[in-house]
């Protein structure tokens, strides 16, 4: 097909179910980003304790890991749209509860932690179901562009959401929670009206073999194992963004405004590249493009580590975000297209565990390295480590390296088995 003009079938806007899905995901992302900013400000204003802030992180992290496999099993067994509706209904109700608790001055740290935990449980329940819905809404040939578009909405929320939340916080945290609840309500309405059909599934018991079926599937499919493990190690090693406050203050000698720019730079890079990917189809050499983008991520991390100029650091971080977006879209589409529909919930759940734990552990690893060696060597080690992992994975997964298209080629598959 090459560079032919997109046909009606290739236009994402022609797929009304996808447009509703995109709007719903973007609305809930905005709601969550605004809520995240307000909850941090509110708990710190109440307690003046860094530990209280840390517990919010823990309340979000635990459900995302502990409930992922059961949530993946449910997403494969039951109506995915109903699971998403239930999750968003709980999130919306928890935000409304935060509005009332704050208005009547009943919001203490225990109540806030409890509601954050409830929201995190709902998000953990919803995640495998909502990610598994996307392949049914567009043809396989444009799935990568659909995923890029969805990521663009999420990145826009990451950039604009916290700023909007911060501005509204001036009027009080209850106002932010109210607006966040409205975003979730809008998302709920869009998902409820979404046309998503799936044949009834054979009910399987929630036992250990069925819960871990996603892990076995990933282990047996070399390409899926390759992309998920590459992401795990690249994120583990490339967690330099956790060190941004140190770089801003001690190396780039800038204030809070500079730190704000540094934090936003990766999202800006990701947003720009995501817009391009949502309009252009990846036709050839997807394996090498993915490896090249992860290597680019490593090089950008290295440039950031060695930079002493704010403008160069911002460019490096924007490049880092852009490269990450390319590999994320290819990885995500490849995993979805190589996984049968009745396994997608469980495979996406395992993928979510890897992403969540590697992000958290990557920040921890960067912090530990920085404590022992200093921030610059820690970030540089991460960049070099990412390049080493890319080289190793290219040798370990030759079929993935040679892969041309996102859609699996049965003949190519047959020659490999």
- Domain endpoint, select from 144, 169, 196: 196
- Domain endpoint, select from 196, 223, 257: 196
Res. 408 pLDDT band, cuts 50 70 90: low
Those residues whose C-beta lies under 8 Å from the C-beta of residue 416, and which sit 6 or more positions away, are 222, 399
- Three-state SS across 187-252? HHHHHHHCCCCCCCCCCCCCCHHHHCHHHHHHHHCHHHHHHHHHHHHHHHHCCHHHHHHHHHHHHC
Same domain, 234 and 281: yes
pLDDT over 80 at 50, yes or no: no
pLDDT over 50 at 414, yes or no: no
Q: What is the rounded distance in angstroms from the CA atom of residue 218 to the CA atom of residue 71?
A: 17
Residue 318 placed within a domain: yes
What is the CATH number for 85?
A: 1.20.1250.20
Same domain, 32 and 154: yes
Q: What is the pLDDT of residues 121-160, one digit of tens each?
A: 999 999 999 999 999 898 888 889 999 999 999 989 988 8
Instruction: Over range 19-33, report the average pLDDT.
Output: 95
Same domain, 168 and 303: no
pLDDT of residue 242: 74
Residue 8 placed within a domain: no
Residue 9 placed within a domain: no
Q: Are 53 and 43 in contact (CB under 8 A)?
A: yes
Res. 2 pLDDT band, cuts 50 70 90: very low
Task: Say how many C-beta atoms besides its own lie within 10 A of residue 246's C-beta.
Answer: 18
Please, what is the Cα angle at 353 between 33 and 263, to 5 degrees?
Answer: 35
pLDDT of residue 6: 46
Give the whole-number percent of the chain exceeding pLDDT 90. 47
Same domain, 323 and 246: yes
Residue 2 placed within a domain: no
pLDDT of residue 417: 41
pLDDT of residue 88: 97
Residue 203 placed within a domain: no
pLDDT over 70 at 219, yes or no: yes
Same domain, 277 and 305: yes
Same domain, 177 and 237: no
Q: What is the pLDDT of residues 255-310, one digit of tens each?
A: 878 888 888 899 899 999 999 999 888 878 899 999 999 999 999 999 999 999 99
Same domain, 249 and 396: yes
Lowest mean pLDDT among 162-166, 176-180, 323-327: 162-166
Q: Mean pLDDT score of the chain, rounded to an integer? A: 87
Same domain, 153 and 275: no
Same domain, 186 and 225: no
Give the whole-number percent of the chain exceeding pLDDT 70. 94
pLDDT of residue 415: 40
pLDDT of residue 30: 95
Residue 280 placed within a domain: yes
Q: Are 91 and 35 in contact (CB under 8 A)?
A: no
Question: How is residue 112 written in tokens?
Answer: 């806030």
Res. 8 pLDDT band, cuts 50 70 90: very low
Same domain, 236 and 153: no
* Total domains, the chain: 2
- Domain endpoint, select from 127, 161, 196: 196
pLDDT over 90 at 204, yes or no: no
Please, what is the Cα angle at 316 between 313 and 317, to 5 degrees?
Answer: 85
Residue 413 placed within a domain: no
Same domain, 148 and 280: no
Q: What is the pLDDT of residues 72-98, one digit of tens each?
A: 999 999 899 999 999 999 999 999 999
The listed range with the strongest mean pLDDT (53-67, 178-192, 235-249) is 178-192
Q: What is the domain extent for residue 24?
A: 15-196
Task: Quote the pTM value.
Answer: 0.84
Res. 409 pLDDT band, cuts 50 70 90: low
Q: Are 231 and 223 in contact (CB under 8 A)?
A: no
Q: What is the rounded distance in angstroms from the CA atom of residue 119 to the CA atom of residue 123?
A: 6
pLDDT of residue 3: 37
Same domain, 274 and 385: yes
Residue 415 placed within a domain: no
């Amino acid at each position: 097909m090459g560079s032919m003009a997109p046909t009606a079938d290739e236009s994402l806007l022609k797929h009304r179910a996808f447009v509703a899905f995109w709007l719903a995901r973007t609305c809930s992302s905005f709601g969550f980003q605004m809520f995240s900013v307000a909850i941090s400000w509110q708990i710190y204003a109440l307690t003046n304790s860094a530990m209280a802030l840390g517990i919010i992180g823990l309340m979000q992290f635990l459900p995302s890991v502990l409930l992922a496999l059961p949530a993946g099993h449910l997403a494969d067994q039951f109506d995915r749209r109903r699971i998403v509706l239930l999750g968003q209904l709980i999130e919306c109700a928890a935000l409304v509860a935060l509005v009332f608790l704050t208005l009547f001055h009943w919001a203490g740290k225990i109540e806030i932690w409890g509601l954050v935990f409830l929201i995190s449980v709902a998000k953990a329940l919803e995640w495998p179901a909502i990610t598994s819905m996307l392949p049914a809404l567009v043809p396989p040939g444009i799935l990568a562009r659909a995923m890029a578009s969805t990521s663009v909405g999420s990145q826009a929320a990451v950039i604009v959401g916290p700023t909007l939340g911060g501005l509204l916080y001036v009027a009080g945290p209850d106002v932010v929670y109210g607006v966040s609840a409205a975003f979730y309500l809008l998302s709920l309405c869009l998902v409820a009206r979404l046309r998503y059909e799936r044949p009834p599934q054979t009910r399987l018991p929630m036992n250990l073999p069925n819960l871990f079926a996603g892990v076995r599937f990933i282990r047996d499919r070399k390409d899926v194992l390759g992309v998920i493990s590459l992401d795990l190690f690249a994120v583990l090693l490339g967690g330099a963004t956790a060190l941004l406050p140190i770089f801003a203050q001690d190396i780039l000698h800038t204030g809070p405004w500079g730190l704000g720019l540094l934090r936003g730079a990766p999202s800006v890079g990701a947003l720009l590249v995501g817009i391009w990917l949502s309009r252009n189809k990846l036709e050839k050499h997807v394996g090498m493009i993915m490896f090249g983008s992860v290597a680019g991520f490593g090089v950008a991390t290295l440039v950031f580590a060695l930079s002493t100029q704010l403008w160069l650091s911002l460019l490096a971080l924007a490049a880092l975000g852009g490269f990450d977006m390319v590999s994320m879209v290819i990885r995500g589409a490849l995993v979805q297209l190589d996984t049968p529909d009745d396994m997608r919930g469980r495979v996406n759940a395992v993928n979510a565990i890897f992403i969540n734990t590697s992000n958290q552990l990557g920040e921890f690893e960067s912090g530990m390295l920085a404590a022992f060696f200093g921030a610059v060597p820690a970030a540089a080690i991460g960049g070099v480590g990412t390049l080493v992992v890319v080289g190793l994975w290219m040798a370990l997964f030759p079929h993935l390296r040679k892969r041309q298209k996102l859609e699996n080629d049965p003949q190519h598959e047959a020659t490999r088995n």
